[in-house]
Amino acid sequence: MDRRLSAALFGVLAACSAPGAPAPETPSSASDSSRARPPDFDLPALDGSRVRLSDHLGRDVVLIDFWATFCEPCLRAMPHLDALYVKHAARGFVVLGVSIDGADSLPEVRAEVQKLGIRFPILLDQDTRVVALYNPKTSAPFSVLIDRRGHVRLKREGYTTGSGETLERDVSELLGL
């Protein structure tokens, strides 16, 4: 295993091994006019299509969720993210689930997505190129919430009790509900 992949997996395992740890978040100030614009990416999706982040920027509220099949907090979060996606998709809310599992894990990714009944797009970052742009520690789960103007509004590491309600509130606010 190469050093970069080994370091990436260590970061994911470290985040996943602390299920009771609080989820650090770094919200952007509402008055901050210099909000970060997220780096664009183009990844293959589990369904065979390709998804480019920039296709959604300036139009949708986007949640990028970095996850792995061996990360229990990730798997616990996914049904909540799916419910949020289904509830708000018609209002312009998009969830992009980015699997950071390796290239040899495609059957496991497909099986978990099917088992959980996930309906939002699952993207494959098999070389961890995209996660490195957003989350150099490669912790998982790791979420990035982007507003309709294409600015990063929130980055959140981990998933704990209450995370779903907090995310629901944040998404509803960005959708103007």
The pTM score is: 0.82
CA 113/CA 46 separation, integer angstroms: 9
**Tens digit of each residue's pLDDT (9 = 90 or more) over 64-77:** 999 999 999 999 99
Tokens 């098999």 -> residue: 126
Q: Where are the domains of the chain?
A: 3-16+37-175
- Which comes out higher in pLDDT, residue 32 or 140? 140
Of 152, 55, 74, 162, nearest in space to 118 by CA: 74
CA 160/CA 22 separation, integer angstroms: 7
pLDDT category at 19 given cuts 50, 70, 90 is very low
Give the class (CATH, top level) of 3-16+37-175.
Answer: alpha beta
**Tens digit of each residue's pLDDT (9 = 90 or more) over 78-94:** 999 999 999 999 999 99
CA 139/CA 14 separation, integer angstroms: 7
